[in-house]
Amino acid sequence: MKIALAGNPNSGKTTLFNAITGKTEYVGNWPGVTVEKKEANLKRKYKLLAGLQDMKEAGTGKGDGNRRNQVRVVDLPGAYSIAPYTSEEAVTRDFILAENPDVLLNIVDASNLERSLFFTTQLLELGIPLVVALNKQDVLKRSGNSIQVEGLADALGCPVVETRANGEEGLDELLRAVGQAAAAGASGNPAFEGRGGEGEDKKRQAYVKGIVQTHLQRKRDKTRITTSDRIDRVVANPFLGLPLFGLVMWAVYAFSINGLGGFLADWVNGTLFGELVPDAAHGFFGGLGVHPMLEALIVDGAIAGVGAVLGFLPLILVLFFCLALLEDSGYMARVAVVMDRYFKKIGLSGKSIIPMIVGSGCSIPGVMATRTIEDENEKVATTILTPFIPCSAKLPIIVLFSAVFFPGSTWILPAVYGIAGLAVILGGLLLKRIFPWEESSTFIMELPEYKVPSLRHAFRQMVHQGKGFVVKASTIILVMNTLVWFMQSYGWNLQPAEDQGASILAGVGGLAAPLLLPLGVAGWQMAAAALTGFVAKENVVATFAILFATVSEEALHAPGGVLAENFTPVTGFAFLLFNLFTPPCFAAIGAMNAELGSRKWLARAILFQLAAGYGIGILAAQAGSLLVYGKWAPGAVPAGLVLGGLAALAAVLVQRNRARDAQNELACQE
């Protein structure tokens, strides 16, 4: 049996889905967060409560065999109409019409009743049992308005239940209504039945407006300036909004990296994985009489590498807890509005900021979120530029280099994100000039009401992000660490290497090492770390932990430690930027391939990201060394050649694009 959750964007579908299934799907207080359907089983207590399980066992439903007791809940992307305008709306339409769910659970934003009921009237005409969840009752009550629920249910011809999904209120009654609707069959259609077309849509809207006027009692004067309006005059101000956003982000990062998160990370890195876990592991394997080579593989390879990554888990947990609070409050939606003013100038819109905010957690869902963008050019550019925003996988690299070269500084992380924002802006301008492009689409966004953020919701989001980080560290990174340890311990003859310089890893890293010379960086170890970072960015830290474990007894992140012997602060910062802006991990590249839908565009995207990361790293190394030390960094000559080549290539592409535009314009005139 399938229950489909359908409704407008930002109506609370995913929050309700999480509440009745126990899942922790990503929730954001803005439209376009859910871009594909999500499925999970209904909690057992709700199955029993609604009588759904008993109904299945009686054979009155569609279930069969061992699947008879399963009740699947499907969270569909937000839609304003059954006639799709965006790709995620098409997912909703196709599922409802093709899969024919047993019950449609229509989530309606009670604070925006008129907007929501347009979609409701369309769903009622499909002949599928429908139950309306009148959600966001807390927002409705704060406004002073009220809805006559029984009268609304009679007007629509289907059950209507008041709910507050973020507080799990009204869910028992809602699921009982779902069970009754499933047993009773299709709901009665409303008095008005439109079948599409511009004229019919206007009639439908007029019908909905009549229902709202009858059953919604307004106490709030729309002309009155509210507290939310006063806040928006500052937060969403086109001039004050951007510096305020920078200040908020600085405070979040300072607290996460140098405050509570930094304190916890120091203990995890220095004590837990620096002393307790390795000592316990050595004692355990020594007691078992394990071969020293196998013991070294497990302790010095797997545990050391994974521990170096997991040591930054507290930073990530605190950071995403704070970001979840900002999202839930409604602030991030205002950021999208503020950024629209600036993104318009580079061929994007404020809608592009949403994938980038999502991508700050992980680039994969961030890239997937670009499918909410209707304009194809804007979608392509956002897909290419979203990985420039540092994700949780890149945070360990940032924090490691910050701790080694800039200990105690609170400006490093905000500076990195500021450079990322600048890279997005300049990258957007460049993409607009080197590839065929058209003007971007209009950005319209309904701002949610401000609210006190839920600590429970923020905690769930924090756990969800942390779980993903741990799973990745214990799978992909664990395998890579084991491989790295083997390659740095053995030579090409598969015999133990007496010196790291004679190992397989040294040979592979040595081939790529010359490419890092323009960054002022020399050494096969740095090249090997960069190469493993293309698989998963956390591998950069893990590889350093394995390679330098035998060189120094100091902790990897100790100020002035082993890393400082291979980098200056400037070249270390340049190497950091190089790893941040080159192509993301393999999984994110796979997501880019799916969203771009073209191998040609994927190749363009990867080459563009490679050129951007390489160019930014070279500029940081050479210009930074000149400003700080009064001289060029090592490798200045090849750096000049590389930058000159990149500039010449960009100029050729820009000129070719201008010629193509002129040719197209001439063809149009003819």
Tell me the C-alpha to C-alpha distance, in Å, between residue 40 and each of 23, 24, 464, 570: 8, 11, 16, 49
Least confident of 174-188, 239-253, 413-427: 174-188
3-class secondary structure for 513-581? Answer: HHHHHHHCCCCHHHHHHHHHHCCCCCHHHHHHHHHCCCCCCCCCCCCCCHHHHCCCHHHHHHHHHHHHH
Q: What is the pLDDT of residue 187?
A: 55
Q: What is the pLDDT of residue 53?
A: 56
Q: What is the pLDDT of residue 57?
A: 45
At 512, the pLDDT band (50, 70, 90 cuts) reads very high
pLDDT for 460-483, tens place per residue?
888 887 887 788 777 777 888 888
Going 345 to 346 to 348 to 353, the CA torsion angle's sign is negative
pLDDT exceeds 70 at position 205: yes
Both tokens of residue 25? 């799907």
Rounded to whole angstroms, how far apart are CA atoms 336 and 343? Answer: 10
Q: What is the pLDDT of residue 32?
A: 52
Counting residues of the chain whose pLDDT is more than 70, the rounded percentage is 88
Give, for 463, the enclosing helix (H) or strand (E). Answer: helix 455-473
Q: Map residue 82 onto helix, strand or coil.
A: coil
**Do 53 and 71 meet the contact criterion of CB atoms below 8 Å apart?**
yes
pLDDT for 227-268, tens place per residue?
778 888 888 888 888 889 888 888 888 888 777 877 787 777
> CATH top-level class for 2-217?
alpha beta
Q: What is the pLDDT of residue 284?
A: 80
Closest CA to 1 of 38, 49, 53: 53
> Which residue spans within 83-237 are E strands per DSSP?
103-109, 130-135, 146-147, 160-162, 216-217
CB atoms near residue 203 (< 10 Å): 12
Tell me the C-alpha to C-alpha distance, in Å, between residue 194 and each of 208, 217, 273: 12, 26, 65
3-class secondary structure for 333-396? Answer: HHHHHHHHHHHHHHCCCHHHHHHHHHHCCCHHHHHHHHHHCCCHHHHHHHHHHHHHCCCCCCHH
Average pLDDT over residues 110-114: 86
* Mean pLDDT, the chain, whole residue set: 82
The per-residue b/e assignment along 544-569, b for 16 or more CB within 10 angstroms, e otherwise, is bbbbbbeeeeebbbbeebbbeebbbb
Domains of the chain: which residue ranges?
Answer: 2-217, 244-434+459-663
Least confident of 89-98, 166-175, 389-398, 476-485: 476-485
**Do 600 and 437 meet the contact criterion of CB atoms below 8 Å apart?**
no
Q: What angle do CA 563, 268, 407 make, to 5 degrees?
A: 40
**Do 605 and 563 meet the contact criterion of CB atoms below 8 Å apart?**
no
3-class secondary structure for 86-110? Answer: CHHHHHHHHHHHHHCCCEEEEEEEH
The per-residue b/e assignment along 228-237, b for 16 or more CB within 10 angstroms, e otherwise, is eeeebeebbe
Rounded to whole angstroms, how far apart are CA atoms 627 and 291? Answer: 53
pLDDT exceeds 50 at position 622: yes
Who wins on pLDDT, 89 or 56?
89
Rounded to whole angstroms, how far apart are CA atoms 333 and 192? Answer: 35
Both tokens of residue 665? 């314009």
Helix, strand, coil shares, percent, the chain, to 5: 65, 5, 30
Both tokens of residue 409? 């500084």
Rounded to whole angstroms, how far apart are CA atoms 1 and 77? Answer: 20
